[in-house]
Amino acid sequence: MNAVRNKVQLIGNLGQDPDVKTIGDDKKVAHMSVATNETYRNAAGEKITETQWHNVMAWGKLAEIAEKYLHKGSEVVIEGKLVNRHYTDKQGVKRYVTEIQANEVLILTKKGEWQTEQATNGIEEAIVE
């Protein structure tokens, strides 16, 4: 291994609309909750689906895109890196958070849904089927 990288890739669905805030004069940050599902069969042959929730943040232009085009239920591909941070809450307790800082977001939709969205918003992005 020449270089060890901090890289995360997820394909999942948004659990709610992105929470977008403006910091300072014009810098935006979007916080998103993304669910990924893993399906397998247990020893009894029953189909089991496990859902994992991931906290994702996107800055700048990605936050603007998230605000404009993403909504609850949107299927997305997120590529980014794991970020660990801490803060002190109002009660003085130190809290630790692990998040994914997105550096790429790809919107996955069905062709018919995409065409309707594209006509409405005038967006020109790749269709992934």
Task: Give me the CATH number covering residue 48.
Answer: 2.40.50.140
35 domain residue, yes or no: yes
Candidate from 1-5, 68-72, 84-88 with smallest mean pLDDT: 1-5
Candidate from 19-33, 54-68, 83-97, 101-115 with smallest mean pLDDT: 101-115
- Checking if the pLDDT of 109 tops 80, the result is no
pLDDT digits (tens, 9 = 90+) for 40-80: 999 999 999 999 999 999 999 999 999 999 999 999 999 99
Q: What is the predicted pLDDT for the residue at 14?
A: 96
Global pTM value? 0.76
Query: Confidence band (pLDDT; 50, 70, 90) for 121?
Result: very low
The HSE-up count of residue 92 (CA atoms within 13 Å, CB side) is 0
95 domain residue, yes or no: yes
1 domain residue, yes or no: no
- Checking if the pLDDT of 122 tops 60, the result is no
Separation CA 69–CA 13 (nearest Å): 13
72 domain residue, yes or no: yes
Helices (H) and strands (E) in the chain, counts: 2, 6
User: Which domain range does residue 32 map to?
Assistant: 8-121
Average pLDDT, the chain: 86
Separation CA 33–CA 49 (nearest Å): 18
Q: What is the predicted pLDDT for the residue at 116?
A: 42
Q: Measured between alpha carbons, how far apart are the two ends of the chain, in Å?
A: 33
Do the Cβ atoms of 67 and 31 come closer than 8 Å? no
Three-state DSSP class for residue 115? helix
129 domain residue, yes or no: no
Total domains present in the chain: 1
126 domain residue, yes or no: no
33 domain residue, yes or no: yes
